[in-house]
A and B are shown apart, each in its own frame.
Chain A
Amino acid sequence: MDFPINPPIGERVRRKETERFVSGTGRYVDDLLPAGTLHVSFVRSSCAHARIKSIDVTAARAMPGVRAVYTGADIAAHVKPLRVGGSSVLRPVKLYPLAVDKVRYFGEPLAVVVADNRYLAEDAIDMVAVDYEMLPAVVDPEKAMEPGAALVHEEAGSNIVYKFHFATDGIDKVFQDAEVVIKERIRSHRITACPIEPRAYLAHYNKDEDTLTMWSATANPHSLRGRIAEIIDFPEGKIRVIAPDVGGSFGVKIQTYQEELLLPYLSRELGRPIKWCETRIEHMRNGRHGRDQIHYVEMALKKDGTMLGIRDKIIADMGSTYTVDHSIQAAALYMTGVYQIQNYSVDALGIATTKTTHGSLRGIGKADASYILERLVDIAARQLKIDPIELRLKNFIPAEAFPYRNVTGALYDSGQYHLAMRRTAEMAGYDRLRQEQIELRKQGIYRGIGVAFVMEPTSSSRIHATGGYASCRLRIDPSGAATVFSSMGEQGQGHETTIAQIVASQTGIPFDKITVIHGDTLPTPYGFGTGSSRSSVVLMPSAWVAGKLMRDKMLGIAARQLKVLPENLQIDGGKVFAKDHPEQSIAVMEIIRTAYGAIHLLPENMEPGLEVTGYFINPNIDYTPDDKGRMNTFSSYPYAAVIAVVDVDIETGMIKIVRYSTVHDCGNMINPQIVDTQQQGSIMQGIGAALYEELRYDEDGQLISSSFMDYRLPCAEEVPELQLEHIITPNPFTPLGAKGAGETGMLGPPPALCSAVEDALSPFGVKVRETPLTPDRVLNLIEKAQATPAHG
């Protein structure tokens, strides 16, 4: 297939954003302070689950500098509840900006103090007295399912708030007849993304204009605008949401939060700008959490390693004010991953617990699926005594089978799995590594070689949730510079650069003269949030469409003046000229002047000006399932093969990553530099998830890892030697041939490192089913394995 990827598309163009970020001239919500701003602090629940008997705010109201104090009930009397749940299967509940009669997780906001500055607000929240009637914390999702368990939402009638079922005909028979069945309980543990900038909001209701401006560190400005309009009943057209520079999202800023919806109300009530910037501890307790699924999963195989089927039961901990179900569905629909498995069944349950709300996080649901599947494949390989690479090669979907319809109806656009796996093995020196491993073991060094192959469905389209399309409005200004208004904001993805590359390639306007405006609902066209790695799949093609419309228009103007057919014209070096007679030319500037000022020279029926909007719709999406429950909700399927080498210290349980080799395929790359950095950051985030990071709750539902002292992120010294290569299998369904590039990196480390540690400790016969691989857990694995007779 031929892709129109002319320079500067595909080049390592320097990012337009970099300079302001590294020189400290970026502008974040916290940098803004309109005159008269008031500041808020939240009174937060000190327990996981309780009825609020009373809240005494009299002392707080009397504190110096305090302008107002509101409880949840005060607010609920004046706003509409939030819409919760993106689908019909999710049991709906009503949610208000502050807890009303019950608190459902540790740290839930239940009252708010508005004061002249944040310090005074914090002083006042200390004076708010809350009387609780304690209810049992619901911490363990499996216990929460049992009859008689305390209910998180009484009106829902059960803690099982979501159910999903899928099965192919005859699945049980496949398992009955199978030569080998591998059966495990594997859990992906709870983590969060930790963007460098926590949440931050500033709402400003302007009384004279009767307008509301909301600055938010959001990845979803247009949706936020709609929700504000809805809950405070204010015309959407009078609300402007601006996401200035945003210090990372990784999914956690794509959803709307309780506090985010409260500030506009407060500003309108008090007629003053209202600001709140979250502290890190608040973020750990209140920002969205991710993962946290338990899978009871089985795989049926032939003795020769041919995979026949998978049966899965998923128990997903949704936390308290559950808002989305796609974490569960994404896991349930992709448990067969990259393998040719056409027999499958799944029962997925979403469970409400008294923990922080579960939500989007880089690799949502798909990371759980790929991790658990790859664990299972490794365990099978070991049991069948087949090399883990061989077992994978034997079962991969072959390159010639693409586009491939998987068992749940997903349509994988393209892939060369065998090539990627083999190239990774070659790059890592797999055979040599195996030799070295034997030598090192003789010296008492436990080296492990881990293998993983992960696939990341990207660019999801769901009714009312992610829309399935994106757009860019492109204007060539009379001066000859171009401005692009993007429907999606950015939080570090580099859209200002990649959109400009695409527009430059199409229109011939120099890259440096193209400005990209995003994250502001006033000038930009409507669009959905930046997530699901959809920018390169759907947003960039919309820029391409806009560029194409613009190019056609420019060529049309030139054609009339040069009397040459448009298809025989070319744009280059600031001119449009006839391909065969370059001396027949017209300056681009002349075309621009014509479009704006000499419209009598325009072709018949052409509108004046140079302003176009390009839309792109996610290809191949099924919005509703077929009669067998099959559907495709994602448009592109990037993947990565990984070989990780680790040394495990069997006395301390410490893991050192010796090398991490990966071959990644996200199709055509608009800017390989940006893809590389996305991979690097994403891989580090995956390493954190595999080895260090964990949100741990105690029995009473208190989050015990709520600061960076306890929730450890990897830092520069933990970065391993990284070998990163790409193979390019273009996505045939998008004009640029690109697939998502933001998340695949994060999926690799958990399965690859578990595989490597299990391999290193194979002399003891350990099996890894729980993460993170803390040194404590590693020693436990060894001890448990030693206590039971070693197999194989």
Chain B
Amino acid sequence: MYPASFEYLKPQSIEEAMALLTEHGEDAKLLAGGQSLVPMMKLRMARPKYLIDIHRLADLNYIREEAGQIRCGAMTRHIEIEESVLIRAQLPMLAVAASEIGDVQVRNRGTIGGGLVEADPCGDYAPVALAINAQFKCVGPKGERLIPAAEFFSFAYTTTLGADEILTEIIFPLPAQDSAGVYLKLERVAGDFAIVSAAVQCAVDKNGVCSAIGIGSAGGGTVPQKALAVEALLRGQKISPELLAKAGELIQVDAEPIEDMRGSAAYKKKALSAILRRAISEALRQAEAKRVS
């Protein structure tokens, strides 16, 4: 609980933060809400020599709707996402995911950008980002680039973001008006990380056929997954109980969950299947309700 010594740097702009990051390289870490990094420093599992605090950069804290997208600055806090009227109306499953992170103290400080870069195998944002194909905007010495969610998570606690890059914005394409999204999280006690979780965004047509579907899940392995095979299985189909059961089996096929105090690998596979099926059923129900209303 006593971190090694470090130097605290407080840049006033993204450019200044970039310059500091370039200057100190491997010795530096960006500090967002500190809700993952600071505990690791206290355990001395992270020992950065320099902390570059970008938590309060106003340029990185916003939620806005633009051209059919919701754009969140990377330093937008969990609580702001949870309470955003815009997100609650347009992308409710994102607000739900944010609301289920840790406790209110964590949500008051932790940020969406920090949460995604931390890439905890059971973080709450990733399934949502994967389900609807969010994109992550980053800046680095060579300029800006966009990373699709499906290419972002490379291993547990590891992403494809360069050590010299800063995540600046998360771009969520807005799903069609008639589609519905559901985020379901299975947790031991309130405020814990997920054992498994699933995000499903889907639409149904008047024949009851699933016309569009996006699925993201966590807990099935070292990285959160976009469930492409399950999406393909269900897309364009009328979803019968048998098909749903098949989806539940399919999600387990490539799953290699991490064993820990939250459960054995065998258990997590079963739990993932159950949560996925429930999320799909509930999303379909909501989509159908939207269609008829």
Task: Tell me the A residues contacting B by CB distance below 8 Å.
Answer: 41, 118-119, 122-123, 126, 279-281, 651-654, 692, 694, 696, 704-705, 709-718, 774-776, 779-780
Complex Cα gap A713–B260 (Å): 16
Complex interface: chain B residues within 8 A of A718 (CB): 189-190
Name B261's contact: one of A279, A281, A705 (CB within 8 Å).
A705
Q: Is B191 an interface residue (CB 8 A)?
A: yes
Complex interface: chain A residues within 8 A of B195 (CB): 775
Q: Is the interface of B mostly helix, strand, loop or mixed?
A: loop
Q: How many A-B residue pairs have CB under 8 A?
A: 67
Complex interface: chain A residues within 8 A of B264 (CB): 776
Interface band, chain B: 20 to 34
B261 engages A775 (CB within 8 Å): no
Name the 8 nearest CB pairs between A and B, nearest first: A717-B190, A651-B274, A776-B267, A710-B261, A279-B1, A776-B263, A122-B2, A119-B2
Q: Is B270 an interface residue (CB 8 A)?
A: yes
Complex Cα gap A279–B42 (Å): 10
Known pairs A714-B189, A715-B189. 19 more at Cβ < 8 A?
A: A41-B2, A119-B4, A281-B43, A651-B271, A652-B186, A652-B270, A652-B271, A652-B275, A704-B261, A705-B261, A709-B193, A711-B261, A712-B188, A715-B103, A715-B190, A717-B191, A718-B189, A776-B263, A776-B264
A775 engages B267 (CB within 8 Å): yes
Q: Could you give 26 example pairs across A and B, Cβ below 8 Å? A: A119-B2, A119-B5, A122-B4, A122-B44, A279-B1, A281-B43, A651-B270, A652-B186, A653-B267, A653-B271, A654-B186, A692-B188, A696-B261, A709-B193, A712-B188, A712-B189, A713-B189, A714-B189, A715-B103, A715-B189, A715-B190, A715-B191, A717-B190, A717-B191, A718-B189, A774-B188
Task: Tell me the B residues contacting A by CB distance below 8 Å.
Answer: 1-5, 43-44, 103, 186, 188-193, 195, 260-261, 263-264, 267, 270-271, 274-275
Complex interface: chain B residues within 8 A of A119 (CB): 2-5
Complex Cα gap A164–B110 (Å): 54
B263 engages A775 (CB within 8 Å): yes
* Most A-side CB within 10 Å, residue of B1, B186, B191, B193: B1
A118 engages B2 (CB within 8 Å): yes
Complex interface: chain B residues within 8 A of A692 (CB): 188-189
Complex interface: chain A residues within 8 A of B43 (CB): 281
Name B188's contact: one of A280, A281, A716, A775 (CB within 8 Å).
A775
Complex Cα gap A696–B263 (Å): 13
Complex interface: chain B residues within 8 A of A713 (CB): 189
Nearest to B273 among chain A residues (CB) is: A651
Complex Cα gap A699–B267 (Å): 21
Complex Cα gap A776–B195 (Å): 10
Complex interface: chain A residues within 8 A of B4 (CB): 119, 122-123
Complex interface: chain B residues within 8 A of A776 (CB): 263-264, 267
Expressed in whole angstroms, the minimum distance between the Cβ of B40 and any Cβ of chain A is 12
Complex interface: chain B residues within 8 A of A279 (CB): 1
Complex Cα gap A714–B189 (Å): 6
* Most B-side CB within 10 Å, residue of A118, A651, A713, A715: A651
Complex Cα gap A281–B263 (Å): 21
Complex interface: chain A residues within 8 A of B44 (CB): 122, 126
B274 engages A652 (CB within 8 Å): yes
Complex interface: chain A residues within 8 A of B3 (CB): 119
CB-CB under 8 A for A774 and B263, given A652-B275, A654-B186, A692-B189: yes
Complex Cα gap A279–B3 (Å): 13
Complex interface: chain B residues within 8 A of A775 (CB): 186, 188, 195, 263, 267, 271
Complex Cα gap A712–B103 (Å): 14
Complex interface: chain A residues within 8 A of B2 (CB): 41, 118-119, 122
